[in-house]
Every structure is written in C-alpha cells, then in structure tokens.
Amino acid sequence: MIDATQVRALLAARRDNHSLPQPFYTDEAFHRFDIDAVFYNEWLFACNSCELRTPGDYLTLEIGTSSVVVVRGQDGEIHAFFNTCRHRGSRICTQSAGHAHRLVCPYHQWVYDLDGTLLHARQMPAGFDRDAHALRPVHVEIVCSMVYICLADTPPDIARFRETVTPYIAPHQPARTKVAFEMTLIEDANWKLVIENNRECYHCAGNHPELLATLVEFALPDDPEGSADFQRLMDDKARAWDRYGLAHRPADGGNEFRCIRLPFHRGAVSFTEDGSPACGKLLGDLVEPDLGSVRMFRVPNNWNHFLADHIIHFRILPLSATRTALRTTWLVHEDAVEGVDYDIDKMTAVWRATNDQDARLAANNQLGVASIGYTPGPYAPSEFMLRNFTNWYADKLTGYLDAHDDDLARARRTIGLRVSNG
Amino acid sequence: MIDATQVRALLAARRDNHSLPQPFYTDEAFHRFDIDAVFYNEWLFACNSCELRTPGDYLTLEIGTSSVVVVRGQDGEIHAFFNTCRHRGSRICTQSAGHAHRLVCPYHQWVYDLDGTLLHARQMPAGFDRDAHALRPVHVEIVCSMVYICLADTPPDIARFRETVTPYIAPHQPARTKVAFEMTLIEDANWKLVIENNRECYHCAGNHPELLATLVEFALPDDPEGSADFQRLMDDKARAWDRYGLAHRPADGGNEFRCIRLPFHRGAVSFTEDGSPACGKLLGDLVEPDLGSVRMFRVPNNWNHFLADHIIHFRILPLSATRTALRTTWLVHEDAVEGVDYDIDKMTAVWRATNDQDARLAANNQLGVASIGYTPGPYAPSEFMLRNFTNWYADKLTGYLDAHDDDLARARRTIGLRVSNG
Amino acid sequence: MIDATQVRALLAARRDNHSLPQPFYTDEAFHRFDIDAVFYNEWLFACNSCELRTPGDYLTLEIGTSSVVVVRGQDGEIHAFFNTCRHRGSRICTQSAGHAHRLVCPYHQWVYDLDGTLLHARQMPAGFDRDAHALRPVHVEIVCSMVYICLADTPPDIARFRETVTPYIAPHQPARTKVAFEMTLIEDANWKLVIENNRECYHCAGNHPELLATLVEFALPDDPEGSADFQRLMDDKARAWDRYGLAHRPADGGNEFRCIRLPFHRGAVSFTEDGSPACGKLLGDLVEPDLGSVRMFRVPNNWNHFLADHIIHFRILPLSATRTALRTTWLVHEDAVEGVDYDIDKMTAVWRATNDQDARLAANNQLGVASIGYTPGPYAPSEFMLRNFTNWYADKLTGYLDAHDDDLARARRTIGLRVSNG
C-alpha cells in the first residue's frame, strides 16, 4: 500500500501549471491510490439512461477491480449494485449488458430482486438472515439522462453540476434517444494522460485533420489565439442561440466540470467529414440543424458533445497505471431509422479517426514520461483546462488523504490493506 | 515480503464458516506466502507411480518457482530432486516427462546419477568436492501408488493418512494401472477457490448436467438434504459393499483429508454420460462393476475418484494469485486395450465437461471477490467441507508463522527475502 | 524501492568465484536497482557510428524505461538526448531509426535542433524561457567508431579503455564499414545470465557445433586446458601478427573490459560454417585474410569480434528481471557489394545459430535459478571471466550504494522514489 507521506511530498513538490511528477503517471501503487481516492470516491459517468430502457435491462462496468451492475428496476428507477454475490463472492451478471427478470447468481442460484433484495437462497439454514445479505448498493444520480454512479459511502455533492448543465443539455432531449453505435478502445496510457489529451486542442492542428474540418480549435469565445474571423463567427452564432433561447456562454464549473456551446466552422453543422448533417432527424423537437455543440466535461471520466442531430458520450475507465478503456457512444433520436435518417459510417468516421489519433498520442506521451529524462513541463495558455484538471486532481488526493490519514496509519500498522476494503 | 502482522490480523478477523477475507484470494504477496507456508511445506500429490514404470522414467512439475524432477531410480525406488544444477543453477530436465539413463545438465554436462549423486563435473579443479554438490533431494512418499512429494526440510506426518485411506483404495489396485488420458487446464482463479469449488456440490444442480447424470449430490450417507430414495440407495449399496468387504463409511481425516465410498445413481456404474461402464476390463482383480466411487481428497492439491473400472486423479498447482493449473489423469487396468476395452472420448467426456464448467465458475468467483463490494459470506450446510478447508488453511498459516516468526523478523531486518530461500 | 541494507547484506553474503545469490537474477526490485546503479550509471554501447552516416540520421534505444535518441548533428558530431519532449513529456522520435532535419515532437510540434536546442515552441507565452527547455543531453564517447553513451550526470572514466583497445581494433578500420545485417533477439533471462553465458566457452562443446567449427574454445594463449596443438597454432599466429604489427596479447582491462586477438582453427579464417571468408573485400586496407579475431568485451552490455573481413557487435539491453534484448550487427567494408563480395546467409549463419542456442541455455538457467533449490555454485577455472564480471558487478553496486546512501535514506523517508528521478 502507498505511503501517504510519499504522495503528500510529491503533491507539495508539484509545480502549478505544469504536468504532474512522473509517478502519478507511471507507478502502479500510485495508480491503485487513484482508484481509491478518485474512482471509488467520485461520481462516474456510466451510460445514457436510454441504454436501460425497459425494467430488467442492465449493463456492467469495471471500476478498478470492482464490477458494478446498473439496472432498471420494476419501479422504473435505475439502480446500481456491486456485481458480487453475498454468498461466496461470485460475479452475478457475467455479460457487459443484458436483460434479466431477477439477478440470479450463476454459481449457487441465489436470487436477488432488481432492487437488490435477496429473495431466495436455497439450502440456507433456518435463521439465515436474508435481509443482511442484500446486494451492496452503489449510488445513482441521473443528470439529463446521463447515469452517474458513486461507489463511496458518502458521495460528493452533484447538485451544482446538475443545475448548471441542465439548461445547456435539456433542449437536446437526451432522454428521447437511442444508441446508434458504441465502441471501446483500449489506450496504452494513464487515465490522466487521456484526460489531458482531451482537454486541449493545442495538438489538433498537427494531428486531427478530420476533426478540424468542422471543429474550431478555440475553447473560449474570447480565446486570445482566436482570429477576427472566429470572433465574427462566434458573435453571429451567439446572437442566433440567444434568439433560440439556448444557453451557450461558458458555465462556471470551477475545476470540476465545464459546459459551453461552441460553433462549428462556418458552413458545417455536425461532426462529419464534410460538415453536413449526420442524422436527418434532429434530436427532440429541434428544428434548427446548426446549433454547434454543447461541450460538457466532468471529472474524472466523462466528456460529451450535444449537437442538433446526435449526441456523443465519452467514458473512460482506468485499467492499470498505463492502460485506459475509452467507450464512445453515438446517440440519435429514438425514432431515427438507420439507413434512412443516418449512416453509421458517416456519423462515426470523424471521432473514430480522432480517437485513434489521440490513442497514439497518449501512448507516446506515456512512453516519454516514463523516462528519467522526463521533467514536468509548462502548459501553454491554450492548455488552461489541464491546469484546472491537475489542480482538481491534487485537491482530490489531498482531501482523501486528510479524510483518511487515521485509517491509513492504522491500516499500515495492522492490516496493510486498502482502507476501503469491505 | 509479506508482513506477518498483516496475515495474523486478517486471520484473527476471519469469520468461521465464511469465505476468506479478500487478500487471501487476490493479493500476489499473500500468494507468495501461500507458496512458502503451504506448497513448500506440505505433501503434494505429484503423479501415479505407474507413470514412472521403468528406471530412468521421470516427470517434472513446478511448485511455485521451483521445478522438481521425480524419477524412478535404478534401485526401482522413486526419488525426487530440485531440478536445478548445483553448478550455475540451470534446469536439468527441460521436458515435462521423459526417460534418462543419467541426469545430465544441458548447460555444462554435469552428470548426476538417478539417485542425485554428482558423478562427473568436467574441467572442475582438483579438490572440487563432488559429494557436496549432489542434487538437493525432495521427500517422497508413496501411498497406494500415489506419489506425494514434500519440499520442506522436515515434512509433516503422513502415516495417519496412509493407514486410513489404504483400506478404501487398495482393492482398486492402483499399482496395476496405466494412464489412458491426461490433460491440464489453466483456471483463472486462486487455488483456494479451485479447492472450494471442488469441495461442494451445492453448485452442481445449476451447472453440471453431465456429472449429475451419474453422481449423487450428497456428500455423506446421512446428508440431511438427502431424499428417502437416496437413503434407500445408500443402504442397499452399503450392504453390498459390506458383503464384498469394501470400506465405505466416512473416514476420520479431520480437516486434512477425506475418504468415503459413495454410490452412483441407481443403474449407473461409472462416470459416463449414460452411466454405463467406461472400461470393459475392471481394475485389478475386481469382478463387480458397480462399486460406486471412492472419493479421496487431500489438502492442499489433490482429489481422486476410484471406480471399479478406472481411476481419476486431479492435481492442482498454483501459478499466481489468480491462476491455477489443474491436471487430470484417467487410469485403467494396465492390460486394458484402447479401442477394445475403453474409448477415451467416452471415458473422459463427463469430467472434461465438468472441469470446463468449474473453471468458468471459479474464474467468475475470482472476478467477484476482487471487488470492494465483496464481503466474506456464509457457507451453506452442504458446504461443510469448505469450512474444514478454510480452517485447515488458517491453522496451516498460523503454524507457519509461529514456527518462522524469528526468521521472518530477522529476514525483514536484514535481507528481506523469503526465509526458505537457499 | 529497494532497501540498501538488503543489497549490502546479500553482497556481503556472496561467495567469491560463485554465481550470484538468487534475487540478483530474479527479483524485479533488484532489477530496477540494476537499472539505476548500472545502466543509468555506466557507458553503454549504442551502435557503430557508421549507422549514423549523414547529419540527421538517428536511432533510438531503450535504457530501462528511458528512451534515448542518438543523432548525427549538422556539425558532423554524434549527440545523444533523452527522447522526451520538455513540454509534456511525449516521445519525440517514435521509430527505432530514421532521418530528420530537426527533431519535432509529434504531439504539439515543439521543434528542437539536432544539438538539442529548443528552436520553436508555438503558442508559448512571452517570457517563456526556451533555453531552459532544451533536450536533456546524454554523454557520448566514440571509441574506434563504437558509440558509447552514458546517462549519468558524471560518467565514469573511459580513457583507459579507449587507449588500451584502440591498437587492437584500429587496423580493422571500423569507421569505413556499413551494416550488412542486424537482428534483435529477446532472451528470457536476466541480463547478467546473458553476460555470464557469453563470458565462457565451457558450455561450447555441448551446445555450439556451428561455432566450434572455427572458434577455438580457449580464452587465453596459455590456457591450461589448451592442447599442444593449440599451443603450436597460437605460437604460429602470434609470430605472424607480430610481423604485421598487430596487437594480440591479452590487454589488462581488469574486470571492466577484455581485449585479445585469438586465432581460428587451422585452415579457418572467418565465422562461417566451413571457415572460408565471409566477405571477399577485406576491411579497411587489410590484405591478409587470416587475422583471427579481436575479441573485445566491455561491461555491462557489449562484446565484439573484429575479423579481417567483417565485424560483429553484440549489444544487450535489459527489459525486466527475466528478459533481455540482444542486438547483433554484422558490418563489412563500406564498398563491399552484397551478392558479389558477401552473402548475408553465409556470413550470419554461425552466430544466428549460436545466439539461438545461447538464448535457450540462458532461459533454462533463468528457470533453474528461480528455484528454492538453487544455491550459488562454483565457477570452473575456464569461467574465470565470470568471476571478473560478478566481482565488477558487486563493486559497482557497492560504489553506487556508497555514493547514494544519503539520497536513498532521504528518499525512503520522504518520497520513496528512485533518487535519479528528475
């Protein structure tokens, strides 16, 4: 187990507005600490609620070494549980997604209701306490149809996030969607390098020709690098969006989240290679195809684009200090018809290419930071969101250490195990 | 290296009749401790002595990181040695099995006799002490033709085991057999989960259709879950076996071993899909094909079935905290003729299917216990042998810690290495 | 991180003229310590300078987790740098070899001159200090066209090595060569076992039929195992080489390096299966095809053969405690023509076979030393160079510990990281 003193010393030695000291990116013990301090301790994006349309629909995801099942109950609500039987610990749902009337452990057929209640445990003796053996729950919050889960006993507050982003996203009516395409890419890089890669477009010009056909590189309406042409485009679009009553100005998410509506290049309306629409049927009740995209990012594992004609959710989950799974889902109006309203290849081509390019860049970054020749380097002004991210990360770790110092010391003295270990 | 205090604290925190705390199943440091405290310290099943029929026949097996060669000497006795040359440590026998007149290291051709004596070391100077460079011996005991080895300096007592199981097994004359088929399966699970899976049939109804065609699920003659029909079957068979003079009542093996003769379902005589005989030629001098099966288990790595027409040995060897090798051998009368007396597919079908099903269950169990949502759960009454096993395991670790506390403390202070390291 | 006390205790317990205690060969923490104490701290053979003929030619190599780029500058000199961008740490050169006008980071296009100067970093703000962000240099020394690099701040002295080996090698004019063939083999063995395998021919008779067609097994002119016939051969050749003015007697390289000229078997002139020349065009201005071979070895990663008609460089780089990369390059006169003067299959057959055989031997050695049955064993007299090597290794580690004790203690107290970590 990691020594809290080590982490604190490195956080203290960290230079603001610079990339992190090496072990945060490369060391497996530091990585396990990330899992404890961040991924077992924060709201994590799981999926869009439309992926669990009917009671009994479920999906599973792996947070660190912990499998979680997210399921729509008979009550229509979405629940989440540790996907571990209370008998001898077998996984219950062995598929990544499926449908089940009840959750039945494949090992000894203990039967759980979709709300986690243990309904039946055959052969157990008189006096066995079923109530004490319900599935262990995981917290769930739905924000604009996005399902967030938290494995901590006491989750952080998510109310400010919900209130702030809802006005941007709600007009796109994400509840009335379906998944058109989903893919998972394994990146050979620490999750923080994947986030840092995503949080800046400084690298776009040299690496993302398909993306830059439509995306403007600038992250803010008043970007100092922005050209006069961009300024005019921005002003035109802002006037139009104000007219439609659509939120677009940068939200105040601090270091925790970001939400903004930004335009495509003049003439483009969607993330396609030529900027033409990706789906003929617009989302919800929208009638105007050119709404730019709402770009919403939330620490530690989620970014999204909400366009007039489709939504893209990006979800990362760390696999080790040097590997990260990126899941990308493209969603369209629930009544859109494949082959009629949209073509999957056309809709996904830009971000499939961009994801591949980013995976190469992040893997290359990982290899380079592992060197004894690596020194944390300065962020460019256009990388201001990386400063936000690394400051958030340092605060998160510090907060965890402050809250757990006693536990960590005791654990080291007696058990030497992860303090959150049940 | 592991901290003895950690292990002791977790053993103290363990709940009787419950599955073990997480790190015993998942942590690589704990696993290395298992290797030291259990696998370098107990009698391990290696093979049937018929596999080494002729002087010079040998096989090798891997215990932890240590390769051992088991060989029949010119004296007809079976010997075992560390498969490591006393010169610069090369492996000597590089195949899993073979035949050799002498054991010659492939690196510099040091020549050892089959009793481990160093016969020749070319180019070594005058004064070189050959006697001080014999192969390091490993203890061997043969129990009813089953070869057990122990890598410890001072092995535990095996006499009670030998005396107790011999009356059950001897009538099957395991010495007069040959291997009809052998296979090794790698399971993605801790060795203790493989054992726990094997020690109960609570999971059979939901998972082993082929096995349950012939096997009765009940582990004891007076199983409280047993039906009246089972009781009648048991009584009928017991009378028949008493008539033949065959031992069948549960032996008192404590937590260390189990030996019992149990019947097949009425009408079935062997582990075949339809219950018909697997081999036309019965073992030894047997004439009655329906003798049920002697089920013999011994900690930590061996279970067996002795039937009228064949024997099945199961041997596990741990590969890591999460991987275990299972070797299964099917033996028939030494004079049985393949294609005439037996068909390999027919004889092996049930346990090949069962092994595959168990491997999936154990792997799934491993994934589930790695979760922070895992809590040790209660064993069902029909899982009483898991209670025996985990209690034996806890005692074994405690005994090892008690015996090595001083070494462990000194090692930690100065060398920080496995104390058993030569 | 490793405990210095552990290493010191094991070094103290080491028996002279015996193979090393187990953990030096098997333990990953000890391996990382080797990387710090040896590979980040010594001169390492990188390549022949002819591989970087033109300004802008570069190659990369991996030392531990650190990638290094070696490049010929516009000034004609060879430079080396950590292959890690000073911005966010991306690798700059992603190929194993290539040609570049400038070194441009693929991530954000920071541009470095071939001398490491940061020429351009787009979008960086006014006040950004380019001079403070040059590539971090790695030391380079060229000895007889062999490029050695050192990643330490203060490299060890290399002057004595240069002075001593130059008279042996210079007549072969290695600067006027080109690479005819190059291959890399991954051996499943600790780098020290690869070196030990290379430093003795005790194992040749039993394993290297192709090599022994031409190579004499004896390492010294007065080898006590040498036959009278070898003695006459040696005397004949020594007289001829003296006549040509070619150095041949064993150089005094202490434990650090070895240099000697030794003959082939009578009638053989080169490392071919029949002893006939491998290249019709001799090196440099040589006219006599039978010059035996200059055998030059240097700790920790390089051995070589210099013949009349070709040169073979061997370079090892450790990948883990149990894996090592061996790169072999065959060089011929720069004007030799493939298919006319030499045939690649013929020239490389002997050492390709020999390398494969050695890889099997070393892997087998690795498996054997991992056993608890392993005990360090005595070197034979013909293994005297292994004694040199292990003594050098022990001295190197001791020297590193002495120089870094304070750092190690401090690091353990506060950061717990590799002290050399930038």
Q: How confident is the model at residue A405 (pLDDT cuts 50, 70, 90)?
A: confident
Question: In this complex, which of B5, B207, B372 lies closest to A414 when CB atoms are compared?
Answer: B5
* C375 contact partners, CB below 8 Å, separation of at least 6: B86, B89, B136, B422
Question: In this complex, which of B368, B373, B382 lies closest to A422 when CB atoms are compared?
Answer: B373
Which chains does A contact via 3+ CB–CB distances below 8 A? B, C
Query: Are residues B208 and B354 in contact, defined by beta-carbon separation less than 8 angstroms?
Result: yes
pTM metric for this prediction: 0.96
3-state secondary structure chain A: CCCHHHHHHHHHHCCCCECCCHHHHHCHHHHHHHHHHHHCCCCEEEEEHHHHCCCCEEEEEEECCEEEEEEECCCCCEEEEECECCCCCCECCCCCEEECCCEECCCCCCEECCCCCEEECCCCCCCCCHHHHCCCEEEEEEECCEEEEECCCCCCCCHHHHHHHHHHHHHHCHHHEEEEEEEEEEECCCHHHHHHHHCCCCCHHHHCHHHHCCECCCCCCCCCCCCHHHHHHHHHHHHHHHHHCCCCCCCCCCCCEEEEEECECCCCCCCCCCCCCCECCCCCCCCCCCCCEEEEEECCCEEEEECCCCEEEEEEEEEECCEEEEEEEEEEECCCCECCCECHHHHHHHHHHHHHHHHHHHHHHHHHHCCCCCCCCECCHHHHHHHHHHHHHHHHHHHHHHHHHHHHHHHHHHCCCCCCCC
Q: Please state, in angstroms and rounded to a whole number, the distance separating the CA atoms of residues B285 and B308.
A: 10
CA angle centred on B308, ends B305 and B311, rounded to 5° = 35
Query: Are residues B404 and B8 in contact, defined by beta-carbon separation less than 8 angstroms?
Result: no
Among A88, A123, A319, A415, pick the best mutation site for testing chain B contact (most B Cβ within 10 A).
Answer: A88
Q: Please state, in angstroms and rounded to a whole number, the distance separating the CA atoms of residues C194 and C315.
A: 11
CB–CB contact B373 A90 (8 Å)? no
- How remote is the C-alpha of B418 from its chain's centroid? 24
CB–CB contact C124 A9 (8 Å)? no
Q: Which residue of A has its CA nearest to B372?
A: A421
Question: In this complex, which of B89, B94, B138 lies closest to C377 when CB atoms are compared?
Answer: B89
Report residue B302: phi and psi, to 5°: -150, 130
CB–CB contact C372 B86 (8 Å)? no
Rounded-to-10 torsion of CA B329, B335, B336, B337: 110
Please state, as a whole number, how many other Cβ atoms lie within 10 Å of the Cβ of residue B184. Answer: 12
Q: What is the DSSP letter of C91?
A: B
Question: In this complex, which of B92, B133, B414 lies closest to C9 when CB atoms are compared?
Answer: B414
Which chains does B contact via 3+ CB–CB distances below 8 A? A, C
Q: Please state, in angstroms and rounded to a whole number, the distance separating the CA atoms of residues B273 and B144.
A: 28
Query: Are residues B313 and B286 in contact, defined by beta-carbon separation less than 8 angstroms?
Result: no
Superfamily of A1-40+173-422 according to CATH: Naphthalene 1,2-dioxygenase Alpha Subunit; Chain A, domain 1 (3.90.380.10)
Handedness of CA B176, B180, B186, B192 (dihedral sign): negative
Residues of chain A whose beta carbon is less than 8 angstroms from a beta carbon of chain C are 3, 5-6, 9-10, 13, 19, 22-23, 26, 196, 202-203, 205-207, 225, 361, 364-365, 367-382
Which residue's entry shows tokens 């189990």?
B258
Tally the C-alpha atoms within 13 A of residue C221's C-alpha that lie toward its C-beta: 17
pLDDT tens digits for range A124-145 = 999 999 999 999 999 999 999 9
Which H or E run includes C347?
Answer: helix C344-369
Question: In this complex, which of B66, B107, B414 lies closest to C365 when CB atoms are compared?
Answer: B107
CB–CB contact B86 C377 (8 Å)? yes
Q: Helix (H, G, I), strand (E, B), or coil: what is residue B138?
A: strand
Superfamily of A44-150 according to CATH: Rieske [2Fe-2S] iron-sulphur domain (2.102.10.10)
Across the beta sheet with A118-120, the strand order is A103-104, A111-112, A118-120
Domain boundaries, chain C: 1-41+166-422, 44-150
Q: Which of A49-63, A211-225, B344-358 has the lowest mean pLDDT?
A: A211-225
- Which listed CATH number (3.40.50.1950, 1.10.3090.10, 3.30.1650.10, 3.90.380.10) goes with B1-40+165-422? 3.90.380.10
Residue C98 tokens, joined: 């290539």
DSSP C140-191: EEEETTEEEEE-SSSPPP-HHHHHHHHHHHGGG-GGGEEEEEEEEEEESS-H
Q: What is the ipTM of this complex?
A: 0.95
Q: Please state, in angstroms and rounded to a whole number, the distance separating the CA atoms of residues A409 and B7.
A: 17
Residues of chain B whose beta carbon is less than 8 angstroms from a beta carbon of chain C are 40, 64-68, 81-92, 94, 106-109, 123-125, 128, 133, 136, 138, 151, 414-418, 420-422
Query: Are residues C365 and B415 in contact, defined by beta-carbon separation less than 8 angstroms?
Result: no
Q: What is the pLDDT along chain B (422 residues), one digit of tens a residue?
A: 688 999 999 999 999 999 999 999 999 999 999 999 999 999 999 999 999 999 999 999 999 999 999 999 999 999 999 999 999 999 999 999 999 999 999 999 999 999 999 999 999 999 999 999 999 999 999 999 999 999 999 999 999 999 999 999 999 999 999 999 999 999 999 999 999 999 999 999 999 999 999 999 888 988 887 889 999 999 999 999 999 999 999 999 999 999 999 999 999 999 999 999 999 999 999 999 999 999 999 999 999 999 999 999 999 999 999 999 999 999 999 999 999 999 999 999 999 999 999 999 999 999 999 999 999 999 999 999 999 999 999 999 999 999 987 766 655 544 433 333 33
Question: What is the structure's pLDDT at B416?
Answer: 37
CB–CB contact B365 A89 (8 Å)? yes
Same fold? C1-41+166-422, C44-150: no
Amino acid letter for position A314: F
Superfamily of C1-41+166-422 according to CATH: Naphthalene 1,2-dioxygenase Alpha Subunit; Chain A, domain 1 (3.90.380.10)
CB–CB contact A123 B361 (8 Å)? no
- How remote is the C-alpha of C145 from its chain's centroid? 14
Query: Are residues A26 and C89 in contact, defined by beta-carbon separation less than 8 angstroms?
Result: no
Q: Please state, in angstroms and rounded to a whole number, the distance separating the CA atoms of residues A87 and A84.
A: 9
CB-CB neighbors (< 8 A) of B83 in chain C: 368, 371, 373
Q: Helix (H, G, I), strand (E, B), or coil: what is residue B12?
A: helix
Q: Please state, in angstroms and rounded to a whole number, the distance separating the CA atoms of residues C161 and C256.
A: 8
* Structural Rg of chain B based on CA atoms: 23
CB–CB contact A415 B9 (8 Å)? yes
Number of CB pairs < 8 Å for A and B?
A: 116
Q: Please state, in angstroms and rounded to a whole number, the distance separating the CA atoms of residues B178 and A344.
A: 61
Give the residue among B318, B319, B323, B267 at the shortest CA–CA distance from B292: B267
CB–CB contact A40 B207 (8 Å)? no
Residue B193 tokens, joined: 């989960």
pLDDT tens digits for range A229-250 = 999 999 999 999 999 999 999 9
pLDDT at A421 > cutoff 80: no
Residues of chain B whose beta carbon is less than 8 angstroms from a beta carbon of chain A are 3, 5-6, 9-10, 13, 19, 22-23, 26, 196, 202-203, 205-207, 225, 361, 364-365, 367-382
Q: What is the pLDDT along chain C (422 residues), one digit of tens a residue?
A: 688 999 999 999 999 999 999 999 999 999 999 999 999 999 999 999 999 999 999 999 999 999 999 999 999 999 999 999 999 999 999 999 999 999 999 999 999 999 999 999 999 999 999 999 999 999 999 999 999 999 999 999 999 999 999 999 999 999 999 999 999 999 999 999 999 999 999 999 999 999 999 999 888 988 887 889 999 999 999 999 999 999 999 999 999 999 999 999 999 999 999 999 999 999 999 999 999 999 999 999 999 999 999 999 999 999 999 999 999 999 999 999 999 999 999 999 999 999 999 999 999 999 999 999 999 999 999 999 999 999 999 999 999 999 987 766 655 544 433 333 33
Q: String of b and e for C61-75 (b: at least 16 CB within 10 Å)?
A: bbbbbbbbbbbbeee
Query: Are residues A7 and A36 in contact, defined by beta-carbon separation less than 8 angstroms?
Result: no
Which residue's entry shows tokens 């002729």?
B54
CB–CB contact C364 B124 (8 Å)? no
CB–CB contact B6 A414 (8 Å)? yes
Tally the C-alpha atoms within 13 A of residue B331's C-alpha that lie toward its C-beta: 27
Q: Helix (H, G, I), strand (E, B), or coil: what is residue B344?
A: helix
* B213 contact partners, CB below 8 Å, separation of at least 6: B265, B268, B273, B274, B275, B350
Segments of B219-266 assigned E as strands = 257-262
Tally the C-alpha atoms within 13 A of residue C411's C-alpha that lie toward its C-beta: 16
Tally the C-alpha atoms within 13 A of residue C192's C-alpha that lie toward its C-beta: 27
Q: Which residue of C has its CA nearest to A369?
A: C89
Q: Please state, in angstroms and rounded to a whole number, the distance separating the CA atoms of residues A103 and A83.
A: 10
Give the residue among C143, C150, C161, C159 at the shortest CA–CA distance from C298: C161
Q: Helix (H, G, I), strand (E, B), or coil: what is residue B187?
A: strand
The whole-number average pLDDT for the span A263-286 is 97
Rounded-to-10 torsion of CA C393, C397, C400, C404: 170
Residues of chain A whose beta carbon is less than 8 angstroms from a beta carbon of chain B are 40, 64-68, 81-92, 94, 106-109, 121, 123-125, 128, 133, 136, 138, 151, 414-418, 420-422
Q: Please state, in angstroms and rounded to a whole number, the distance separating the CA atoms of residues A299 and C75.
A: 49
Which residue's entry shows tokens 């099997």?
C360
Nearest-CA distance from A64 to chain B in Å?
8
* Beta-bridge mates of residue A297: A258, A303
Which residue's entry shows tokens 């160079």?
C385
CB–CB contact A89 B26 (8 Å)? no
Question: What is the structure's pLDDT at A411?
Answer: 56
CB–CB contact B381 A65 (8 Å)? no
Strands A146-150 and A323-333, how do they pair?
Answer: unpaired
pLDDT at A413 > cutoff 60: no
Q: Which residue of A has its CA nearest to B10?
A: A415
CB–CB contact C123 A225 (8 Å)? yes
Nearest-CA distance from B310 to chain C in Å?
35
Nearest-CA distance from A366 to chain B in Å?
26
Q: Please state, in angstroms and rounded to a whole number, the distance separating the CA atoms of residues A282 and A332.
A: 8
Q: Helix (H, G, I), strand (E, B), or coil: what is residue C351?
A: helix
Nearest-CA distance from A23 to chain C in Å?
8
